[in-house]
A and B are shown apart, each in its own frame.
Chain A
Amino acid sequence: MRTKIFVFAALLTLVALALAACAAPAATTGKLRVGLITDVGGVNDKSFNQSAWEGAQKGAKEFGWDIKFIESKQPTDYEKNIDQFATEKYDVLITVGFLMGDATAIKAKQYPNIKFAIVDNAYFPTKGVAYCDDTKKDCYDDGGLKNVTSLMFQEDQVGFLAGVLAGGMTKTGTVCTVSGMEIPPVVRFVVGFQNGAKWIKPDVKTLNVYIPSFIDPAKGKETGQSMIAQGCDVVFGVGGNTGNGGLLAAKEKGLMAIGVDVDQYNTYPEVKGALLSSAAKNVDAAVYNYLKSVNAKSSKAGVFTANLQNGGVGLAPFHDWDSKIPQTVKDKIKTATEDLKSGKLATGYK
């Protein structure tokens, strides 16, 4: 009896698997197909990856394209996930995040007919890097990444404005950042923030901790709490879900917080009571504009930088805090914005 059941179950499994394999749909329509590969944060990270996915969806919907995403579970998945789309004959691939730089470059050379856009990573000729060493003039047209567009952001500018806001609002004279991994976009935010705070309040004390993960809100919260214990009363969370932990720590203590990447008042309503504003980089707009240029067949390889001048970065609205932020602070932010735009003021990030 037992053997029979076993045989029956095995047969059933085989039949099911065979049926499933036959049912594999091979959809090939004339529409362009867009794939998006997230970093380990995933499409619901309430900030950066989510914003990219929203921008991509908006573009795909408008132009009638197919769009899909794959989330990366670990760094060794990047290459494989790009390959999943490429071997399925996708036309445009968007890779989200600085950490995917190497994988994107290698795959872009492997698939020269696919258009790649990478958020947050620009390629520079570097000694010892196989895909673009220092004998090249630049990595895109000369170095062979002719199908890659880098979507960059001047995070230091908006970080600076967030710093001005924080420095203007702090009562204890200490502001802090709960940061994710120490990678250039995060460093730009942090450096800008600290210099902004010092610009409005030269004797302000700044604290910062880099946490080597973007998906560890528990550690972010713990870090936020320890900095609050050191007197910090405005927490700037820079680092996906890890930073969100810092915001939560501020909210629970009834202090002030500043979000990052998107207007976190909308994406992370749990902390909105504490949220002064968010240092937004409009990843969605950048991705959308890129897809628009693909649609117009005018997309180009190279670096596209979003900054205050072109509206690609900026402080989100103050929402509930609008009435509680003194006019003098608002004026200072306005001055800083103008001066950063005109180049009169530098953020201090090199």
Chain B
Amino acid sequence: MSNLAAERAARTDGRATLLRTLDVLSMPALAMFLGFLGGAIIIWITSGSLETVGAAYAGLINGAFFKQRGFSETLVAMTPYVFLGLGLAIGFKAGLFNIGVEGQFYIGAISAVWAGVAFPGLPAIIHLPLVILAGALGGALWAGIPGFLKARTGAHEVITTMMMNYIAFRLAEFVVSLPLRDPLSTAVQTLRVSPNAELWSLWQIPERLADPLNALGVALFCALCAFVIVRWLAPHARRVVVGGIVFATGAIAFIALPPLVKVWWLFDDQYDRLHIGIILALVAAAVVWWLMYKTTLGFEMRTVGANPNAARYAGINISRNIIVTMAISGALAGIAGTIEVLGVSICRCLPLFFSSGYGFDSIALALLAKNNPIGIVGGAFLWGAMRNGADLMELNSGVSKYIISLIQGLVLLFVAAPAVVRYLLRMRAPSKTEAEAPLTRGWG
């Protein structure tokens, strides 16, 4: 009898989880749906034919997923979105609207290029982490300034980060045109970073792993992942066991991976631009999730975001929290810039005029994902797919690729105003009060 009851309880529990998940997913999904519907109507009205709508969306899907290198390009476009979305989400969670991610993206890119140029001859195992660190540090410092100003003087971060954007753009132009300029190139661009500082393209991996030092780096990375996974699955495992598994993973990776990828490797197309940044992005999402939900710092950040007065009463240092949050947010944005320069930019350098628009798109993305790191990965995938598929859409149907921004804008509108969606679809308002913190607090 009791067995039966437990089983039943477990079943309802499972169902409740499923329903809750569906519930969480429903609003973004509906917003996406309505966004695309709105886009379709606009294409229909402007082109005057339903066929164009079909051709446009067919091109979008084909370009994003099915055509040659389409899927890789989607992942390439998705990578910076993940970092930027995470950066924004951390800010939002702590009640800060970091509108300056675009500028921090630039500063990250400059810092990374500087670190990549300044230390030629370092092996990749040191140089690659170094450039990423430099990018993160650059972004963190740049975002830390508005954080400091807010903590000390109360200057609103929306204003200061936005202003810092323009300073960042002009600073980037200065650095590209003078101190770091490549004197041999006719184009205005920085020097090329050392080959060891480049982010590896996936097709290069067999070649890169042939160097034992690189193999060691990858082995260390695998061992670290193994450590995290083991600790997560079996938190109380004995130290010896954990150590053994971690060491074994590392050793196997070090010995077996290089010959293995030489024999068989999925990516042999040397024009495929997919690079290891996507792996770093997934790792970053996991780290941010851990930071936000499993650490004291994350708890404090969320508390400050939910109710600063309660946080202060509970003895949380608000000023420190604001600065740290902004710095982490900026660091993530800086890594996004680093990855674009070291992995995608054709000259592996920062050209003058490197505008991306990634930063501003990401604001919509973070809102769509409700600041959930897993949601951000999903949303970034969608955003990347749309950005990438838009070209083929334009090519096949003649619909301007800027319709994508319009669809994203509609999605944002519907996400930001769930009441509109509920009204449009005649849905009941949720019975419980929404247990969400306000996205950002008012002025002053």
With A and B bound together, what is the CA distance between A40 and B36 in angstroms? 26
How many interface residues does B have (CB within 8 Å)?
54
Which residues of chain B from 59 to 79 have any CB-CB distance to chain A below 8 Å in the complex?
Answer: 59, 61-63, 66-69, 73
- Interface code B382-410, partner A: CB below 8 Å = 1, 0 otherwise? 00000010011011101001000000000
Interface-located stretch among A68-76, A153-161, A189-197: A68-76
Contacting pair A110 B427 (CB below 8 A): no
How many interface residues does A have (CB within 8 Å)?
53
Contacting pair A183 B391 (CB below 8 A): no
| Contact of B346 with A by CB under 8 A | yes
Shortest distance from the beta carbon of B304 to any chain A beta carbon, whole Å: 33
Quick one: which of A71, A102, A106 contacts B401, CB cutoff 8 A? A71
Shortest distance from the beta carbon of B241 to any chain A beta carbon, whole Å: 44
Chain A, Cβ-Cβ closest to B430: A2
Contacting pair A126 B187 (CB below 8 A): no
Interface-located stretch among A8-16, A169-177, A302-310: A8-16
| Contact of B177 with A by CB under 8 A | yes
Contacting pair B356 A3 (CB below 8 A): no
Chain A, Cβ-Cβ closest to B426: A5
Would you call the interface of chain B mostly helix, strand, loop, or mixed? Answer: helix
Shortest distance from the beta carbon of A57 to any chain B beta carbon, whole Å: 13
With A and B bound together, what is the CA distance between A80 and B76 in angstroms? 11
Which residues of chain A from 13 to 29 have any CB-CB distance to chain B below 8 Å in the complex?
Answer: 13, 16-17, 19-25
Which residues of chain A from 212 to 240 have any CB-CB distance to chain B below 8 Å in the complex?
Answer: 212-213
Chain B, Cβ-Cβ closest to A87: B68
| Contact of A296 with B by CB under 8 A | no
Which residues of chain A from 40 to 74 have any CB-CB distance to chain B below 8 Å in the complex?
Answer: 40, 68, 70-71, 73-74
Quick one: which of A12, A17, A74, A83 contacts B69, CB cutoff 8 A? A83
| Chain A residues, Cβ within 8 Å of B427 | 1-2, 5
Contacting pair A3 B33 (CB below 8 A): no
Contacting pair B346 A212 (CB below 8 A): no
| Contact of A30 with B by CB under 8 A | no
With A and B bound together, what is the CA distance between A74 and B109 in angstroms? 15
- Interface code A90-106, partner B: CB below 8 Å = 1, 0 otherwise? 00000000110111001
| Contact of B16 with A by CB under 8 A | no
| Chain B residues, Cβ within 8 Å of A128 | 184
Given contacts A20-B61, A80-B73, contact A25 B396 (CB under 8 A): yes
| Contact of B19 with A by CB under 8 A | yes
Which residues of chain A from 78 to 121 have any CB-CB distance to chain B below 8 Å in the complex?
Answer: 78-81, 83-85, 87-88, 98-99, 101-103, 106, 110
| Chain B residues, Cβ within 8 Å of A2 | 26, 427-428
Would you call the interface of chain A mostly helix, strand, loop, or mixed? Answer: helix
Given contacts A6-B30, A84-B63, A212-B173, contact A127 B184 (CB under 8 A): yes
Contacting pair A87 B67 (CB below 8 A): yes
| Chain A residues, Cβ within 8 Å of B22 | 3, 6
| Contact of B230 with A by CB under 8 A | no
| Contact of B273 with A by CB under 8 A | yes
Chain A, Cβ-Cβ closest to B341: A76
Chain A, Cβ-Cβ closest to B391: A84
| Contact of A209 with B by CB under 8 A | no
| Contact of A184 with B by CB under 8 A | yes
| Contact of B352 with A by CB under 8 A | yes
- Interface code B406-440, partner A: CB below 8 Å = 1, 0 otherwise? 00000000000000000001011000000000000
Quick one: which of A25, A81, A182 contacts B188, CB cutoff 8 A? A182
Contacting pair B271 A83 (CB below 8 A): yes
With A and B bound together, what is the CA distance between A278 and B281 in angstroms? 50
| Contact of B442 with A by CB under 8 A | no
Contacting pair B33 A9 (CB below 8 A): yes
Interface-located stretch among B50-58, B95-103, B290-298, B365-373: B50-58
| Contact of A301 with B by CB under 8 A | no
Shortest distance from the beta carbon of A95 to any chain B beta carbon, whole Å: 13
With A and B bound together, what is the CA distance between A22 and B345 in angstroms? 34
With A and B bound together, what is the CA distance between A106 and B173 in angstroms? 26
| Contact of B217 with A by CB under 8 A | no
Contacting pair A75 B395 (CB below 8 A): no
| Chain A residues, Cβ within 8 Å of B392 | 84, 88
| Chain A residues, Cβ within 8 Å of B345 | 75-76
| Chain B residues, Cβ within 8 Å of A87 | 67-69
Contacting pair A16 B355 (CB below 8 A): no
Chain B, Cβ-Cβ closest to A88: B395
Chain A, Cβ-Cβ closest to B65: A21
With A and B bound together, what is the CA distance between A5 and B426 in angstroms? 9
Shortest distance from the beta carbon of A277 to any chain B beta carbon, whole Å: 28
| Chain B residues, Cβ within 8 Å of A126 | 184
Contacting pair A79 B67 (CB below 8 A): no
Return 27 A-B CB contacts under 8 Å, by A number: A2-B428, A6-B22, A10-B29, A17-B57, A17-B61, A20-B61, A40-B353, A70-B391, A70-B395, A71-B394, A74-B355, A74-B356, A74-B357, A75-B351, A75-B353, A76-B340, A76-B345, A81-B391, A99-B187, A99-B351, A101-B187, A127-B184, A128-B184, A181-B188, A182-B177, A182-B188, A212-B352
Q: What is A's interface to B at a CB cutoff of 8 Å?
A: 1-3, 5-6, 9-10, 12-13, 16-17, 19-25, 35, 40, 68, 70-71, 73-81, 83-85, 87-88, 98-99, 101-103, 106, 110, 126-128, 181-184, 212-213
